[in-house]
Amino acid sequence: MRASTRSITLGVVSLVIVAFGPRIAASSSPNIIVVLADDLGYGDLGCYGNSEVHTPNLDQFATEGLRFTDCYSAAANCSPSRAGLMTGRTPWRLGIHNWIPMMSPMHVKETEITIATLLKGAGYDTCHVGKWHLNGMFNLPGQPQPNDHGFDHWFSIQNNALPNHRNPYNFVRNGIPVGPIEGYSAEIVTDEAIRWLETEEKTERPFFLFVCYSEPHEPVATAERHTQLYADKEDPAERALLGNITQLDEGFGRLMKAVDDLGLREDTLVLFTSDNGPAITGRHPYGSAAPLRAKKGYLREGGIRVPGLLRWPGVTSPDSVCKEPVSGVDLLPTLCAISNIAVPDDRAIDGTSWLPLFNDETLDRENPLYWHFLRAKGSVKVAIREGDWKLVARIDQPDLKPSGGITQEDIEYQTRAQLTDFSLYQLTSDIGETTDLKDTEAERFNAMKHTLVSMYEEVREESPIWPAWEFPRYEGGRIEWPEYQALIKPPVYEP
Give residue-wise pLDDT tens across range 74-116.
999 999 999 999 999 999 999 999 999 999 999 999 999 999 9
pLDDT band at 369 (very low <50, low <70, confident <90, very high): very high
Q: Which backbone phi and psi does 129 adopt, to 5 degrees?
A: -130, 135
The candidate with the shortest Cα–Cα distance to 277, out of 299, 304, 300, is: 304
Is 107 noted as a catalytic residue in this protein?
Answer: no
133 an active-site residue? yes
Partners of 311 in the β-ladder: 270
- Please count the helices (runs of H) and the strands (runs of E) in the chain: 12, 18
Q: How many CB atoms lie within 10 A of CB 247?
A: 27
C-alpha span between 12 and 315 (Å, rounded): 13
What's the pLDDT score for residue 470?
59
Evaluate if residue 489 carries a pLDDT over 60: no
Please give the pLDDT value at position 360. Answer: 86
Q: How far apart are CA 358 and CA 312, in angstroms?
A: 10
The yes-or-no verdict on residue 47 having pLDDT over 80 is yes
Query: What pLDDT, on a 0 to 100 scale, did the predictor assign at position 471?
Result: 52
H or E element in which residue 442 lies? helix 442-462
Residue tagged active-site, from 97, 133, 165, 372 = 133
Q: Is the pTM of this model over 0.75?
A: yes
Report which of 111, 112, 83, 93 is spatially closest to residue 460, judged by C-alpha positions: 93
pLDDT exceeds 60 at position 24: no
Distance CA 287, CA 487 (A): 28
Average pLDDT over residues 52-79: 98
Tell me what pLDDT residue 472 has: 53
CA distance 380 to 433: 12
Rounded Cα distance between 155 and 195, Å, is 11
Q: Are 401 and 389 in contact (CB under 8 A)?
A: no
Q: What is the pLDDT, as a whole number, of residue 204?
A: 74
Weakest mean pLDDT among 241-250, 295-304, 361-370: 361-370
Residue 318's CB: how many other CB atoms inside 10 A?
13
Tell me: cis bond preceding 101? Omega within 30 of 0 counts. Answer: no
Which residues 6+ apart lie within 8 Å of 69 measured at CB?
321, 322, 323
At 490, the pLDDT band (50, 70, 90 cuts) reads: very low
- Among candidates 272, 171, 279, which has minimal Cα distance to 219? 279
Q: Which of 78, 212, 322, 336 is catalytic?
A: 78
Question: DSSP string of 205-263?
Answer: --EEEEEE--TTSSSP---HHHHGGGTT-S-HHHHHHHHHHHHHHHHHHHHHHHHHHTT
Residue of 183, 107, 204, 180 lying closest to 146 (CA atoms): 107
Mean pLDDT of the chain: 90
| Burial class (CB within 10 angstroms; exposed 0-12, middle 13-18, buried 19+) of 161 | buried
Q: Which helix (H) or strand (E) holds 84?
A: helix 78-87
